């Protein structure tokens, strides 16, 4: 399939895979007064004079962004700076970011520990963040598939979403349906729900009634797994770390559709094994090939280490374990006996790799599906906490945003932190 811009029959348009963009803008030191000439907007641009909502009407000339010039601890290397917005051209759009989450991968990327490395330019370096939703506020005259007011997400990782504004080409964006989709749901759709969607569909041909087990069940991915599984008729066993307010977490995950919520400590008790067996009894699987009983067919591992080992012990014959996260930063160890005698399969999954290796139409179908599920109330917003993004730059604002990034990288956060612009 051509990767150039095209019109699709669906509400969603998927465009080319944009490679990590380099901006040749000048960063303005915090102490400097802003002295940027107004951006020249070509007369051909249909922009800034429409009534497309907040943000439209005035051509911005610069934007605030959380940037870094070298890898390191985010709270050490991130800087809040004002960056000139490149002028609109006939083949570009200007967007205003609405919301952008702080994901674990964003932290890893700034630390230099993520496979996708940003391109550092000579002035401000790179902009943090990989996910977020923006509103088109101006479109050049050659732009055919986007208009002012549309909601868009970056087509690729690495663009830098912790900023208020940006200039994109059409091919660097995916347009999202807006109806019934909140800006938080849109800002967090492309990583976690897509990962949950693919992992539930691509490894085992699950049938309604089948049982999936996962650790890190309160993560953004885990919350999406619970809800998609519920909507598709699968049962979930959800493992979380114990905490003082465990009842609140249990109630939250149950309200999303979790069938069983257990702590890491409970994972190896006979009571838990019995509960899981009972849950799987109605499974379509005859996984225990000798006894003909139901069993757990699929496991998702967000944590690694002992937690993953314990998940493996609960799997049935011919089951699959998919590892997508490594939150404990400890390696995987598989018990040999079930690995051999139950014919277990282990896989890794990375959404960015899947996106790069699959036809755009598949991604389009997935995003349309997910937006439909959001609109129907089957997929709720991740539990999130608002961090107001900087309205301007200054040391106080910088410290506030850096503190939020630092907190987001800690365990037991309780919610995903989302910058709201």
Ligand X SMILES: NC(=O)c1ccc[n+]([C@@H]2O[C@H](COP(=O)([O-])OP(=O)(O)OC[C@H]3O[C@@H](n4cnc5c(N)ncnc54)[C@H](OP(=O)(O)O)[C@@H]3O)[C@@H](O)[C@H]2O)c1
Q: Are 94 and 138 in contact (CB under 8 A)?
A: yes
Angle at 310 between CA 308 and CA 315, to 5 degrees: 95
We find the least distance from the C-beta atom of residue 372 to ligand X, in angstroms, to be 21
Q: Which of 124, 324, 384, 389 binds ligand X (CB under 6 A)?
A: 324
Residues in the interface with ligand X (CB under 6 A) total 25
Q: Does 351 bind ligand X (CB under 6 A)?
A: yes
Q: Are 199 and 324 in contact (CB under 8 A)?
A: yes
We find the least distance from the C-beta atom of residue 110 to ligand X, in angstroms, to be 13
Identify which of 141, 154, 112 has the alpha carbon closest to the alpha carbon of residue 42: 141
Q: Does 325 bind ligand X (CB under 6 A)?
A: yes
DSSP 3-state of 74: helix
Q: Which of 100, 161, 195, 283 binds ligand X (CB under 6 A)?
A: 195
Provide φ and ψ at 240, rounded to 5°. -130, 165
Angle at 299 between CA 346 and CA 283, to 5 degrees: 120
Instruction: Select which of 48, 63, 68, 114 is catalytic.
Output: 114
Show the binding pattern over residues 231-270: x = contacts ligand X (CB under 6 A), - = does not. ----------x-----------------------------
Q: Does 65 bind ligand X (CB under 6 A)?
A: no
Q: Does 214 bind ligand X (CB under 6 A)?
A: no
- In the bound state with ligand X, the residue whose beta carbon lies nearer, of 18 and 308, is 308
Q: How many CA atoms lie within 13 A of 351 on its CB side?
A: 22
We find the least distance from the C-beta atom of residue 242 to ligand X, in angstroms, to be 9
DSSP output for 43-111: TT-EESSS--STTTTS---EEEEEEESS-S-HHHH-EEEEEEPPPP-TTEEEEEEEEEE--HHHHHHHH
Q: Does 355 bind ligand X (CB under 6 A)?
A: no
Active site residue 114: yes
Residue nearest to ligand X (CB): 325
Contacting ligand X within 303-322 (CB under 6 A): 303
- Distance, in Å, from the CA atom of 347 to the CA atom of 324, rounded to the nearest integer, reads 9
Q: Does 9 bind ligand X (CB under 6 A)?
A: no
CB proximity list for 259: less than 8 A, separation 6 or greater: 211, 235, 236, 237, 238, 279
Q: Does 219 bind ligand X (CB under 6 A)?
A: yes
Q: Which of 74, 128, 220, 287 binds ligand X (CB under 6 A)?
A: 220
Residue ranges in contact with ligand X by CB under 6 A = 103-105, 191-192, 195, 216, 218-221, 241, 302-303, 324-328, 349-351, 411-412, 416
Question: Catalytic residue positions?
Answer: 114
């Amino acid at each position: 399939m051509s990767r150039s811009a095209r019109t699709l029959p669906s509400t969603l348009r998927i465009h080319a895979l944009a490679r990590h963009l380099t901006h040749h803008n000048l960063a303005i030191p915090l102490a400097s007064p802003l002295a940027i000439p107004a951006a020249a907007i070509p007369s051909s641009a249909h922009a800034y004079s429409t009534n497309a909502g907040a943000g439209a009407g005035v051509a911005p000339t610069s934007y605030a962004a959380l940037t870094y010039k070298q890898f390191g601890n985010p709270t050490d290397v991130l800087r809040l700076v004002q960056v000139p917005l490149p002028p609109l051209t006939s083949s570009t759009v200007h967007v205003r970011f609405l919301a952008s989450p702080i994901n674990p991968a964003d932290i890893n990327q700034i630390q230099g520990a993520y496979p996708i490395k940003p391109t550092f330019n000579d002035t401000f370096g790179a902009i943090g963040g990989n996910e977020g939703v923006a509103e088109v506020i101006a479109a050049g005259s050659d732009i055919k598939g986007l208009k002012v007011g549309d909601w868009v997400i970056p087509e690729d990782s690495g663009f830098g979403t912790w900023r208020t504004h940006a200039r994109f080409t059409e091919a660097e964006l995916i347009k999202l349906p807006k109806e019934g989709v909140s800006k938080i749901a849109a800002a967090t759709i492309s990583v976690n729900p897509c990962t949950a969607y693919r992992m539930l569909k691509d490894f085992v041909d699950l049938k309604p009634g089948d049982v999936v087990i996962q650790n890190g069940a309160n993560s953004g991915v885990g919350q999406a797994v619970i809800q998609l599984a519920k909507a598709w008729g699968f049962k979930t066993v959800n493992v979380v770390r114990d905490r003082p307010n465990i009842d609140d977490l249990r109630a939250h995950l149950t309200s999303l559709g979790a069938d069983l919520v257990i702590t890491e400590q409970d994972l190896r008790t006979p009571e838990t094994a019995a509960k899981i067996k009972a849950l799987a009894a109605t499974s379509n699987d005859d996984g225990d090939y000798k006894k003909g009983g139901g069993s757990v067919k699929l496991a998702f591992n967000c944590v690694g280490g002992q937690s993953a080992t314990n998940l493996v012990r609960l799997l049935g014959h011919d089951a699959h374990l998919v590892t997508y996260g490594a939150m404990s930063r400890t390696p995987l160890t598989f018990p040999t006996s079930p690995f051999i005698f139950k014919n277990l399969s282990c896989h890794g999954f990375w959404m960015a790799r899947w996106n790069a290796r699959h036809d755009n139409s598949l991604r389009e179908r997935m995003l349309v599906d997910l937006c439909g599920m959001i609109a129907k109330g089957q997929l709720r917003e991740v539990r999130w906490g608002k961090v107001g993004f900087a309205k301007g730059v200054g040391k106080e604002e910088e410290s506030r945003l850096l503190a939020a990034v630092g907190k987001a990288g800690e365990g037991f956060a309780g919610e995903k932190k989302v910058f709201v612009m």
